[in-house]
Structure 1
Amino acid sequence: MNYAVSVPSGVALEELPTYVHLARAFAREGVEVNFTLMGDGNMHWATALAEQPGVRTYHVRHEHCALAMAMGYSIASGKVGVASVTCGPGLTQLSTALATAAQARVPVVVFSGDTPINASFYNQRIDQGPVVTATGAHHIACTSMKRMLEFVREAFYVARTERRPVVLSVPYDMQKQKLPAPHDYVPSTDYVPDTGPVAPHPAYVEKAVDAIASARRVVVIAGRGVLRSGAQSQCEELADLCGGMLATTLPERGMFDHHPFGIGIAGGFSRDIGKELFAQADLVVAVGASLHHFTVDGGTLFPQARVLQIDAHPVGLKNGRKVADLFLEADAKLGLGAVIAGLKERGIAPSDWRTPELARRIAEEPADSTEFEIEPATLDPREAVLALDRVIPKDWEIVSGSGHCSYFHAQMRGRRPEHFHTIREFGAIGNGLCYAIGVAVARPDSQVVLIDGDGGFMMHAQELETARRHGLKLLLCILNDGAFGSEIHKLRADGLDDSGAIFGRGDLGRIAEGFGLRGSVVTDVGQIEALIEPFKAADVAELWDIHISDRVTSPTMRKAHPKKH
């Protein structure tokens, strides 16, 4: 990697302060974007990084949001995200975002200031290491001037190879000192082993072929590994060979929407028809999918099926459950290719599971057909999402928020997984707007749409100012039930007072206008169709405050929390 870095004219390397050398090292790592909230501990470094050629800096309103934006940037760009905060309270604000990045395996590097080592008193002092490591992130205390640049390389190496967040804590006063014996920086990419994709073992390919050949109801579940290895067509070929169904994990939703036997998401977000077909399966082939608790719907999704996992890094026990009965350790594309070749050599015939009537049901039946009484001046969230799905172009980037409403917009159809962005592992709401900003920065030539709930959106509504200041034209579709949706449905299911989780719908459109953006309140699906063209013609972000009924409960919630009274 060959990146030009800035050095002041006529100034020798030996004369530059350490914070400049650290900024140059980040630039050498290929960093193009930094999300930051400045304070004493990071302002010199952040300013120096902004001066490096090709580096863009986005100034945010909350430290948590800086890291969440870096996470959104990372999942959309495939690069290491970078954020920066000051020491003490700046760092402690990151705990939720760090835990989320650690559990979701998002590679990010945080440059954090740290307490000046020569200060007898500093009112932002805290032992930062335990705060960071408690979240599952990797912490590097940069207290050696001689090794300062090695710390940067270690941070990016760990982020890249372990896919986890890393925090560099650099004491404020050390940043201003001269770096002893500065040298040309060698980036971490020069040390990452190039081992190539994992090839399958022939004996285990044979076991996989035996399992598939003897099954009559096969469902292939594609996970992140399929997208990374480019194995979509192999998944489809395998399903076609055995007359099986195709499904995906949540992040890859939409991959098989074009296929007549693509049944959608596997897990708690499965459509009604998907649950029905999973219940009939006698073999599930999980490809590049870890089979998380939610993917298997707590172990209830396919009770009669054996499981074959094809994965470069298979794990036998996850979330307290046995993952699979058979394993084929291999890259998704190579593993599937070998299995398909073995099946063709045997000449297996497809099962009779597929029928024209079944294809019709998959194409036409709603994800959830349960009926609810909708209160006046509100929309059924399922109808609202169908209207959004009709008007939003299929190639726009969709950022999926968390919370109860996330089930509904996960059912949008005909959208490629490359245009769908979600981080759901830690169960934290409040990140949607930040992720959307990160995705917009990573894909400046694409239109980004956030679909989130009102409770999560209001947690960091101040970042509307960040979007306005940096000229990011987002479309924010807020499904507003005037409450914390998950909590009201859980309280109601238990027969308890739900008033503590209700705060009213208000007018979120006016909030957007207060930040210099455009906003509208939506109480009729016809408004959604009328709003899309004006949004396309405008030059600023826009918020659609979509008032939805609080009586519609998602299938996931109904199953997990059945009414007791």
Structure 2
Amino acid sequence: MTSTAVNDGKSMKASDLFVAALEAEGVEYIFAVPGEENLDFLESLRTSSIELVLTRHEQGAGFMAATYGRLTGKAGVCMATLGPGATNFATPAAYAHLGGMPLIMITGQKPIKKSKQGQFQIIDVVGLFDPICKMSKQIVHGNTIPSLVREAFRVAEEERPGAVLLELPEDIAEEETNAPILEPHDRHYAVADDRVLEEASQLICAAKMPLVLVGAGANRKQASIALSKFIEQTQIPFFNTQMGKGVIDERSGLFLGTAALSDGDYVHCAVERADLIINVGHDVVEKPPFFMEEGGKQVIHINYKSAQVDQVYFPQIEVVGDIARSITRLGERLGGKVAVEDEYYRMVRGEIEAHTSELSDDPRFPIIPQRFVADTRKVMGDHDIIALDNGVYKIWYARNYKAYEPNTVLLDNALATMGAGLPSAMMAAKLYPERRVMAICGDGGFMMNSQELETAVRQGMNLVVTILNDNSYGMIRWKQADAGFDDWGLEFNNPDFVQYANSYGATGHRVERTEDLVPTFEAAFKAGGVHLVEVPVDYSENKRVLLDELKEKVCLI
């Protein structure tokens, strides 16, 4: 498209122009905790087509906007004031930056042409965010708004996606401008060179035990379709990273498992035996599921961008370009099924299936992780979405919970921050009201943004929020035990979660028998609205399964 002057050369307020530019980008929502420095922008937003979603903390706004980007591929937008409001965006910015989620943050600022209050609340927000954003800019004139907004969305959404910050000072927001809107246009990514595709196909044909690794960068609709066809055609076994779950249906007989741990798990037996890893959409931001060594296995890197090389990752061949088209063209060159000596892979798959299904019907109470994950899978359909906060339960879900479609398991294995699970689930519930959506949080992570329950209720969301309660920071206790330290310093007390939920207008439930978990979930989803389900959890299985059992594991290499 060509640029059009939506204001037909008429003078308009800069904040009105900013909002019009956002409308031209197709922005549906702005998640915000406004301040006085945002009032011109807020007034412009009032008469626009964009829905303002008022949150109770800037982190909630940022996490919701980042998740919008993750689910749609279009940049989510959030807004805060200067100083303390802006600094509360730091964690969502890092979350989007490391997780590859397109995010636009708009922050206010005092007037820059004439000081009214000295340095009150003023910090260098643009400089602060520069290291954790793809772009961080202050708007210094209304006429630059259309080009800066267009550039912000291009940068945020372009592979690899990430965060962008735009700071709008008070006096700039209220000035007059007649600058034209710059309309967005479709982007098309380059296609990998024929020569490198031929090299990759020859390497695959020469391999005896190739494996496909699916990472977060492949979690795009077209890439998922192309990869599924590639696996079906070539019959090469595959595994995924945590953020690559669901790109290919994990019910496939060629699925080995998820790399939930850095190394030492059963799936790593297959990785160690492989002579070639076809690494699709993964980079070293997400904790690496395998380590390369000089003279060891070969790796084909398939991604939108070239590899970030470090001590654990230095691929021999890089297929750079649109993932879907690269995979499709690579499949065409291979022509059909690839010869794989897969008897060992079948053995590993059997071991993984046996261990991940173990104790899935165990009746103990408090509930153990294996049973909790299995019961969650029973109540969630193919299209339904779980959003996990960060805690040791995330490992159990990565290992034991099979995902059937892309972006139906929302977890963060990049920044791995606590506090994002509830806002992330809220965004999914708002976008997909016809699906079941469940937030799964530890008691520690939930309390970091628990106030957003009020936002969910006010927004009329249908959402189940599950709290796994062990009255401690369970992940760190597990690490503490693994390191041989005494169990000390990580326990706390919690509120009455049922009354806490009810006080916000949600409906609280407390599971008191393991057999009541599935019926409680089903009743909550059937009733609609926001429900909180407190589930006491017994993490003693962490040591037996994730520590002792794996240390005794033997790979039949």
How high is the TM-score relative to the length of structure 1? Answer: 0.86
CA–CA distance in structure 1, aligned partners of residues 528 and 2 of structure 2 = 36
Contact kept? 1:213, 1:348, Cα under 8 Å = no
Q: Percent identity at matched positions?
A: 23
Cα offset for 1:501?
Answer: 1.0
Q: Secondary structure at the match of 2:37?
A: coil
Q: Determine the structure 2 residue equivalent to 1:404.
A: 392
Cα offset for 1:419?
Answer: 2.1
CA–CA distance in structure 2, aligned partners of residues 39 and 336 of structure 1 = 48
Closer, same or farther in 2 for the Cα pair 1:552/1:171, shift >3 Å?
same
Closer, same or farther in 2 for the Cα pair 1:128/1:268, shift >3 Å?
same
Matching of residues 78-117 of structure 1 within 5 Å? 78-117=73-112
Closer, same or farther in 2 for the Cα pair 1:65/1:534, shift >3 Å?
same
Q: Secondary structure at the match of 1:501?
A: coil
Which amino acid in 2 is paired with 1:390? K
Q: Per-residue displacement from partner, 1:238-293 (whole Å, max 9, x unpaired)? A: 55666531222222313232311211223527895423322321211112333556
1:476 and 2:465 matched: yes
Matching of residues 60-209 of structure 1 within 5 Å? 60-117=55-112, 118-122=114-118, 123-161=120-158, 163-177=161-175, 179-180=176-177, 182-187=178-183, 189-190=184-185, 194=187, 196-209=188-201
Q: Determine the structure 2 residue equivalent to 1:286.
A: 279
Moved more, 353-362 or 427-436: 353-362
Closer, same or farther in 2 for the Cα pair 1:124/1:486, shift >3 Å?
same
CA–CA distance in structure 1, aligned partners of residues 286 and 267 of structure 2 = 17
Cα offset for 1:396?
Answer: 1.1
CA–CA distance in structure 2, aligned partners of residues 2 and 472 of structure 1 = 39
1:415 and 2:404 matched: yes
Q: Determine the structure 2 residue equivalent to 1:264.
A: 257
Contact kept? 1:220, 1:235, Cα under 8 Å = no
Cα offset for 1:364?
Answer: 4.1
Closer, same or farther in 2 for the Cα pair 1:470/1:86, shift >3 Å?
same
CA–CA distance in structure 2, aligned partners of residues 362 and 46 of structure 1 = 57
Closer, same or farther in 2 for the Cα pair 1:424/1:493, shift >3 Å?
closer
CA–CA distance in structure 1, aligned partners of residues 332 and 150 of structure 2 = 43
Q: Per-residue displacement from partner, 1:431-472 (whole Å, max 9, x unpaired)? A: 111111222223233332111211111111111111111111
Which amino acid in 2 is paired with 1:253? K
Cα offset for 1:520?
Answer: 1.4
Which amino acid in 2 is paired with 1:168? L
Contact kept? 2:389, 2:417, Cα under 8 Å = no
CA–CA distance in structure 1, aligned partners of residues 442 and 427 of structure 2 = 18
Closer, same or farther in 2 for the Cα pair 1:438/1:504, shift >3 Å?
same
Q: CA RMSD in A?
A: 3.5
Cα offset for 1:197?
Answer: 4.2
The partner residue of 1:213 within 205, 212, 221 is 205
Contact kept? 1:106, 1:165, Cα under 8 Å = yes
Contact kept? 2:197, 2:319, Cα under 8 Å = yes
Contact kept? 2:67, 2:101, Cα under 8 Å = no
Cα offset for 1:356?
Answer: 11
Q: Secondary structure at the match of 1:429?
A: coil
Q: Determine the structure 2 residue equivalent to 1:253.
A: 245
Contact kept? 1:403, 1:453, Cα under 8 Å = yes
CA–CA distance in structure 2, aligned partners of residues 439 and 385 of structure 1 = 20
Q: Per-residue displacement from partner, 1:65-103 (whole Å, max 9, x unpaired)? A: 111110111111221100011111111111111122122
Q: Determine the structure 2 residue equivalent to 1:276.
A: 269
Q: Determine the structure 2 residue equivalent to 1:327.
A: 318
CA–CA distance in structure 1, aligned partners of residues 20 and 258 of structure 2 = 44
Matching of residues 336-375 of structure 1 within 5 Å? 336-344=327-335, 350-354=339-343, 358=347, 361=350, 364-367=353-356
How high is the TM-score relative to the length of structure 2? Answer: 0.87
CA–CA distance in structure 2, aligned partners of residues 387 and 405 of structure 1 = 14
Cα offset for 1:491?
Answer: 2.3
Q: Which runs of 5+ in 2 are unaligned?
A: 553-557
Q: Determine the structure 1 residue equivalent to 2:555.
A: none
Q: Secondary structure at the match of 1:147?
A: helix
Closer, same or farther in 2 for the Cα pair 1:428/1:303, shift >3 Å?
farther
Which amino acid in 2 is paired with 1:282? D
CA–CA distance in structure 2, aligned partners of residues 232 and 127 of structure 1 = 41
Q: Per-residue displacement from partner, 1:115-149 (whole Å, max 9, x unpaired)? A: 12322425222222222214335221112243233
Cα offset for 1:184?
Answer: 3.4
Which amino acid in 2 is paired with 1:161? E
Alignment length (residue pairs): 546
Which amino acid in 2 is paired with 1:76? L
Contact kept? 2:462, 2:525, Cα under 8 Å = no
